[in-house]
């Protein structure tokens, strides 16, 4: 994956960390060459649900979903490979 503005990646996670108490809706990041897409949603009580999409090409997406909790643990909820 290549992004012409790599600081956007760091800014995305810095914004999540600054708002650790929560936010409404989901926050999105997508690389300029759309091979990576991230989505984070906070539940307001200490857990963040992440969705990660890696595009391996025009026909295949790998999607991974999981949650991070206030105690620092992380749980993988699902993953699936989508061919279209």
| Sequential DSSP letters for 16-78 | HHHTTT--SSEEEEE-SSSSEEEEEEE-SSS-EEEEEEEE-SSSEEEEEEEEE-TTS-EEEEE
**Predicted structure pTM score:** 0.72
- What is the share, in percent, of the chain residues with pLDDT greater than 90? 11
Q: Check pLDDT > 80 for residue 79.
A: no
Domain boundaries, the chain: 7-83
Architecture of domain 7-83: 2-Layer Sandwich (3.30)
Q: Check pLDDT > 60 for residue 81.
A: no
Q: Which has the minimum average pLDDT: 9-18, 25-34, 62-71?
A: 62-71
What is the average pLDDT across 27-43?
87
pLDDT at 84: 43
């Amino acid at each position: 994956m290549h992004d012409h503005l790599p600081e956007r990646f760091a800014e995305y996670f810095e914004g999540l960390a600054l708002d650790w108490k929560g936010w409404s809706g989901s926050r999105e990041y997508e690389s300029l060459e759309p091979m990576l897409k991230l989505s984070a949603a906070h539940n307001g009580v200490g857990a963040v649900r992440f969705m990660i999409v890696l595009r391996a090409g025009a026909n295949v997406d790998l999607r991974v979903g999981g949650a991070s909790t206030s105690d620092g643990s992380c749980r993988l909820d699902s993953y699936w490979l989508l061919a279209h």
